[in-house]
Structure 1
Amino acid sequence: MDFQAKTKALRSNFPVFQQFELIETIAQNSRYVEVPKGTVILNVGDYIKVIPLVVSGSVKVFREDDDAREAFLYYIKPGQSCAMTLASSIKQGKSEIKAVALENTGLMALSADSLYSVNKKYPSWYNFVFETFGMRFNELIQAFEGVIFHHLDERLMRYLQQRSATVGSTMLKISHNEIARDLATSREVISRLLKQFEKEKLVLLARGQITLL
């Protein structure tokens, strides 16, 4: 993707970047990357070298412990970035999350070395960073409230609806195992709840696929 195409993609996906000079600066200090579905973009412990600005597709962000158990955090859609990556880059620390392409994804990989000058010079970038932090904080609070106050069937339906909104489709290519890992429960429990949803005509189940009705 050439410079002109990068500026066009940034303008259409990131209207919050109000200064064209900021868009040009990001385009000059970033490279466009096409990431195939399922590719690990960032691992726990990696040094933050770039900030991902998603322009197409979506990215799943989660924590992973030493036993490979996962805790889903949030999705990154076009026009968004990763709050945890931004936070780690600001303090020049290592990544505390794992990020995987949920579908074929295009992103601008903004050099982390350019962040200091961008933060200092462009107020709209500063606003974007704080809006990103605020949005992700609210999502994490909602997830916490879901664990504390809501039954698993409610959490599961909200999870499916959120995933559907992220990929822009009611047909979700996802396994029961992945859902179980994200919701910190067993595959058997998820399968039983999905069967109940199907009886209630809320979903249609197929191998490796769930369709919201």
Structure 2
Amino acid sequence: MTFQDYFPIWNKLQTDQQDRIRSNLNFRTVKKGTILHNGDMDCTGLLLVKAGQLRAYILSDEGREITIYRLFDRDLCLFSASCIMRSIQFEVTIQAEKDTDLWVIPAEVYQDIMETSAPVANYTNELMASRFSEVMWLMEQVMWKSLDKRVAAFLLEEASIEGSSVLKITHEAIANHLGTHREVITRMLRYFQSEGMVRLSRGMVRLLDEDRLRQLQD
């Protein structure tokens, strides 16, 4: 499968626009843990995931992380080219959660095409609106949902992503996703364990009662 098969509006581009993207496109293979984009001073370019998993997160003034969205196969990341979107006022870090194959479209190339192509501009606006909807959803979760519900929802989401009830994840990683402290997550998971919903071991959480976790997240 080539880039053309993954870029959803490829056939709506003019031939010269397709040629320009092809000649400037970079293919990268990155290891789990690699930081691909680091804040608004870094204009990496647009990232299109071929295979793997990326995480977009923001940092508080105290250095706490919170995940705002994740990217999977065929997902395109705009925030990694924040320099072409002047209205973005918060710094986003993009990190590989798994070994990932991806393409990088240079920001200036995409911006030039976006300014002359209505299909690209429309697609970009739709994608931006979708990402901001995810950010707004996250804000609602943080503001209005109790942490036990958020932890239960995260564990179920992670199990769905991994296709397994055995999650190889640390308490600190969960805390980073949810924007809280590791000690708070540890207490919550121990409560879940005492209630028979999970079993904990070093670097691992096993889901024992997903039905109760679903009831809790609601």
Q: TM-score range by the shorter chain?
A: 0.7 to 0.9
1:19 matched residue in structure 2: 12
Which moved further from structure 2: 100-109 or 40-49?
Answer: 40-49
Q: Deviations over 1:129-164 (max 9, x none)?
A: 122212211111111111222111111122233344
CA contact (8 A) 1:47 1:94 kept: no
1:38 matched residue in structure 2: 33
- Tell me the number of residue pairs that the alignment of Structure 1 and Structure 2 aligns: 206
1:80 matched residue in structure 2: 75
Judged with a 3 Å threshold, the aligned counterparts in structure 2 of structure 1 residues 148 and 11 are, in CA distance, closer, same or farther, namely same
Deviation of the 1:59 alpha carbon? 0.8
Judged with a 3 Å threshold, the aligned counterparts in structure 2 of structure 1 residues 62 and 27 are, in CA distance, closer, same or farther, namely same
Q: Could you state the TM-score of these two structures normalised by the residue count of structure 1?
A: 0.80
Where has structure 1 moved over 6 Å in runs of 4 or more? Answer: 92-95
Which moved further from structure 2: 78-87 or 96-105?
Answer: 78-87
2:106 matched residue in structure 1: 111
Ranges in structure 2 where 5+ consecutive residues have no aligned partner: 211-218
From 42, 50, 67, the counterpart of 2:45: 50
Q: Where do 1:1-213 residues align within 5 Å? A: 8-19=1-12, 21=15, 25-91=20-86, 96-167=91-162, 169-212=164-207, 213=210
Note the aligned Cα RMSD (angstroms). 2.9
Tell me how far apart the structure 1 counterparts of residues 127 and 111 of structure 2 sit (CA, whole Å). Answer: 17
- State the one-letter code of the partner of 1:188: E
Ranges in structure 1 where 5+ consecutive residues have no aligned partner: 1-7
Secondary structure of the structure 1 residue equivalent to 2:47: strand
CA contact (8 A) 2:58 2:91 kept: yes
Percent of paired sites with the same residue:
27
Judged with a 3 Å threshold, the aligned counterparts in structure 2 of structure 1 residues 135 and 45 are, in CA distance, closer, same or farther, namely closer
Tell me how far apart the structure 2 counterparts of residues 152 and 19 of structure 1 sit (CA, whole Å). Answer: 44
Deviation of the 1:192 alpha carbon? 2.5
Which structure has the larger Rg over C-alpha atoms?
2
Secondary structure of the structure 1 residue equivalent to 2:101: strand
CA contact (8 A) 2:58 2:67 kept: yes
2:215 matched residue in structure 1: none
Which moved further from structure 2: 45-54 or 194-203?
Answer: 194-203
- State the one-letter code of the partner of 1:133: M
CA contact (8 A) 1:63 1:72 kept: yes
Deviation of the 1:187 alpha carbon? 2.0
Secondary structure of the structure 2 residue equivalent to 1:38: coil
Deviation of the 1:93 alpha carbon? 8.6
